[in-house]
Structure 1
Amino acid sequence: MDSYLDIHLLPDPEFEEQQLMNALFSKLHRAIGATSPGQVGISFPGVAKRLGNHLRLHGTAQVLDKLMAQPWLQGMKDYCRISERQMVPSNVRYMAVRRVQAKSAHNKRQRSIRKGWLNAEEALTKIPDSRQRQLTLPYIEMKSLSNGNPMRVYIEHSSLRETPVTGLFNAYGLSATATIPWF
């Protein structure tokens, strides 16, 4: 990961920043899957309670050029400013940017029943909806490509490290182990 490029969302009176980031991320997700699976990492340099208006793509120069040569930003170019591809600065630290999923109480009940650990009645009493963990992480909201249902992709930026960890990224540009340069 020697290169990066930044995409900044521009203020728009008709759309909230989060709506624009959701649309941008959905398009990026499809583009990564089609052109460079496993090779592009992402980060949100302005992350706080929300992801912010700044998306950074990380990869090799060749991979980022290939991704950006595709028309995946069609329809979004009026809403964002895209930087030129640049080299990662020399003195950086590293972090993993990963997806976090909370297991729903419904899914836990179904699994317990399927595995034979509990029957349906026991599952309802032992795993109530109130036991479901609520995530407070920032997220992207998008439609599932497999079933069309709305879904949230919760995103967590890990603590900083001094050394990089190589690995593959998923089709969202996220990884639980592989790191991206943080600067």
Structure 2
Amino acid sequence: MESYQDIRLLPDPEFGTELLMAALFSKLHRALGQHAAGDIGVSFPRAAKTPGDVLRLHGTAQALAAFNQHPWRKGVNDHIESSEINAVPGSLKYRTVSRVQVKSSADRLRRRSVKKGWLTEEQALERIPDNQSKRCNLPFIALKSLSTGERFQLFIRQGELRDSPVEGVFSAYGLSATTTVPWF
């Protein structure tokens, strides 16, 4: 992974950063699924409580250039600024950027258990107490599922820094629990 490209969200008085990142990331997800074959990863170099305003694409210069030939940014071009494809600087660390799925709402867990036929409504109320809800403080992107149409939060964990890279493939979200991206 010797190359990267930064896509920065431009300030907009009508749309917040989180909404713009969600729109950009949705388009990226569709395009990665169609054109990237697992060879492009992502990171969020300005992430804190939110993913921030920069989406960084990682890959080979050839993979990034080929990916940029597709008009995947159509509709968000007025809200972003893209850097050139650049070489990754030397002497750096690496980290994984992965998805974390949180079973957050006890109410949601109860509804799902009843819908799937695992429990009756009474059993669900008894076996899944309200205090079973989990909170997640990781940054997330609010997305709409392409397959089901339901809205969900894609929680993102940027793993611990490592001294050496781990090769592999990325999901259609550009994420991986094992494959690392350069961190700088």
TM-score, reference length from structure 2: 0.90
Query: How many residues end up aligned between the 2 structures?
Result: 180
Kept after mapping to 1: 8 A contact 2:101/2:155 = yes
The 3 A distance-change label for structure 1 pair 119 and 16 is: closer
* 1:104-183 alignment runs, 5 A limit: 104=104, 105=106, 106-107=108-109, 110=113, 114=118, 121-183=122-184
User: How far did 1:132 drift?
Assistant: 1.9
In structure 2, C-alpha distance between the alignment counterparts of 1:72 and 1:123, rounded to whole Å: 43
Structure 1, gaps ≥5 residues long: none
User: How far did 1:120 drift?
Assistant: 6.0
User: How far did 1:123 drift?
Assistant: 4.1
Q: Deviations over 1:130-171 (max 9, x none)?
A: 302111111111111001111110001111000111111111
Match of 1:68 in 2: 68
Q: Deviations over 1:7-29 (max 9, x none)?
A: 01111111111111000000000
TM-score, reference length from structure 1: 0.91
Kept after mapping to 1: 8 A contact 2:109/2:128 = no
User: How far did 1:94 drift?
Assistant: 0.3
Superposition CA RMSD, Å: 1.9
Residue type of the alignment partner of 2:19: Q
Kept after mapping to 1: 8 A contact 2:38/2:170 = yes
Match of 1:26 in 2: 26
Kept after mapping to 2: 8 A contact 1:113/1:120 = no
User: How far did 1:126 drift?
Assistant: 2.3
> Equivalent pairs: percent with the same residue?
51
Residue type of the alignment partner of 1:138: P
Kept after mapping to 2: 8 A contact 1:30/1:171 = yes
In structure 2, C-alpha distance between the alignment counterparts of 1:46 and 1:165, rounded to whole Å: 22
